[in-house]
Amino acid sequence: MECKNCGAEVGSEYRLCPYCRTEIDYGDKQPQNVVINNYYNSSPSQPVRETPPSSFQNPYPPYDPIKSDKSWTVTLLLALVFGFFGFHRFYVGKTATGVVYFFTYGIFGFGWIIDVINILSKNFTDKEGRKIK
Ligand SMILES: [Zn+2]
């Protein structure tokens, strides 16, 4: 097809001459407009739900209302070594009494002895009242 304006050879896919931008008269041979509808090809936007792999393991143990997640061994060692300073109470979350212990040397040793006995008999509880075993 030849552009009637500038005489350039133009492919039949052009409606406008790429050189002079003149509309090309195809006469009867004007190609039909082909409407490509992508609507049905495009998938509807759905939120992608990411499922954890089967090997996924929750690093946090499930909440146990009875048994504390604090370590009994750590609590005992802290009580034995730093019990006068209330470190074992800080460890289990009993910060307020831990401060008291810190400034009173474990309530002059009595609180410390009672705590050690309770830890050894596994009756010592964390700040939520769960026994440390
Ligand atoms: Zn032209």
Interval 41-64: pLDDT, tens? 555 566 666 666 667 677 776 788
Nearest residue to 88 via CA among 35, 39, 43, 124: 124
pTM of the model: 0.54
Could you tell me if residue 48 is inside a domain? no
Is pLDDT at 8 greater than 70 in this prediction? Answer: yes
pLDDT in tens, 87-108: 999 999 999 999 999 999 999 9
Is 126:94 a contact under the CB 8 Å cutoff? yes
Domain count, the chain: 2
Looking at residue 14, its amino acid is: Y
Dist CA 28 CA 126 (whole Å): 91
93 located within any domain: yes
Residue whose entry in the numeric block shows the structure tokens 């048994």: 67
Res 3: pLDDT: 85
Task: Determine the distance separating the centroid of ligand 1 and the alpha carbon of 6, expressed in angstroms.
Answer: 4
Look at residue 42 and tell me if it is in a domain. Answer: no
Which contacts qualify for 11-20: CB closer than 8 Å, 24 or more apart?
Answer: none
User: Would you say residue 71 has pLDDT above 90?
Assistant: yes
114-127 pLDDT per residue, tens: 999 999 999 999 99
Is 111 inside any structural domain?
yes
Flag whether 22 is in a domain: yes
Task: Please tell me the distance between residue 3's alpha carbon and the centre of ligand 1 in angstroms.
Answer: 5
Q: Is 9 helix (H, G, I), strand (E, B) or coil?
A: strand
Q: Residue 11 has what pLDDT?
A: 83
- Please tell me the predicted confidence (pLDDT) of residue 43: 55
98: tokens are 């831990």
Q: Which domain holds residue 109?
A: 72-120
- Give 76-89 pLDDT, tens digit per residue: 999 999 999 999 99
In a domain, 110, yes or no: yes
Q: How far is the CA of 25 from the centre of ligand 1 (A)?
A: 11
The CA 5 to ligand 1 mean position distance, Å, reads 5
